[in-house]
Amino acid sequence: MIGIFDSGIGGLTVVRAVMDRLPGYDIVYFGDTARTPYGNKSSRTVVDYSLQNIRFLLDQGAKLVVMACNTASSVATDTALSRFNMPIYEVITPAVNQSLEISKKMAIGVIGTRATITSGIYEKKIHEKAPEARIYSTPCPLLVPLVEEGWLNKPETRMIVKKYLHPLKVRQIDALILGCTHYPLLKPIIAHKIGKKVAIIDSSMALAEEIKAFLAENPQVDRELSKNGKADFFVSDITPQFEKTARAVIKRNITLKHVGL
């Protein structure tokens, strides 16, 4: 099956995209809710957690893994690829590719957690393909707790989003990468505050398309993926709030199973 992990609920936006683009494929999800969030923690700790999460997904029968967390993708991809001999997807590259297709001015904004922005991964990947691109990035550490509280359209959230986006807005970017899987849930506010001229880039759909294209070209991997329309959701901590948000994002009834790592 397809294994997907995140530090908590953010990765469910990726699950939704994979269910949409690859209907019927079995999915096993792991949300590391006992140690969430990852975004303010050190690389070393996030790498350790990511490797444990992938190991867990493999033990559940995953044959392809998606790191549906920008923080993990930013700091743990190289180590994960060198440690595990299997297709491992991250959420940075699809967003980078999409931003380069869309931006006409080559002036691209990136928002994410402190760990993601500090890693410089978006600058690095964009400059590999477009050395002339101007990239402006800013950490938005309070957006994850605001989303997890369900404060998706409160005045305080709008003020904080406006404050965070201000340094990007003055740079006249024309594309903005949502570099955290929580942020698509704030897309209406972010789009409103950054302005109509800026295209908002959310990697989940692009990522699901990329996996679909990869499987079409690699039938030997595709054959190993079971397709019974099953989805299992594991979390390292069960709280009523998480269950509620998970159902709202996935839009179907799901059962969370607790697992200690």
Among 102, 106, 107, 142, binds a second copy (CB under 8 A): 142
156 scored as a contact of a second copy (CB under 8 A):
yes
Nearest alpha-carbon partner for 5 in 43, 40, 45, 46: 46
Total residues contacting a second copy by CB under 8 A comes to 28
Nearest alpha-carbon partner for 239 in 148, 144, 157: 148
* Residue 154: CB minimum distance to a second copy, A: 8
159 scored as a contact of a second copy (CB under 8 A):
yes
By beta-carbon proximity to a second copy, the closer residue of 254 and 259 is 259
140 in active site:
no
69 in active site:
yes
51 scored as a contact of a second copy (CB under 8 A):
no
238 scored as a contact of a second copy (CB under 8 A):
yes
Among the listed residues 75, 180, 198, 206, the single catalytic one is: 180
248 scored as a contact of a second copy (CB under 8 A):
no
149 scored as a contact of a second copy (CB under 8 A):
yes
153 scored as a contact of a second copy (CB under 8 A):
no
Task: Pick out residues in 1-40 that bind a second copy (CB under 8 A).
Answer: 33-35, 40
Applying CB under 8 A, the span of 14-22, 76-84, 167-175, 236-244 interacting with a second copy comes to 236-244
155 scored as a contact of a second copy (CB under 8 A):
yes
Alpha carbon distance 185, 10 (integer Å) = 9
Among 64, 160, 176, 231, binds a second copy (CB under 8 A): 160
Cβ(4)–Cβ(72) under 8 Å?
no
- The contact set with a second copy (CB under 8 A) reads 33-35, 40-42, 44-45, 48, 114, 141-142, 145-146, 148-149, 151, 155-156, 159-160, 163, 236-239, 241, 260
Please list the active-site residues: 69, 180
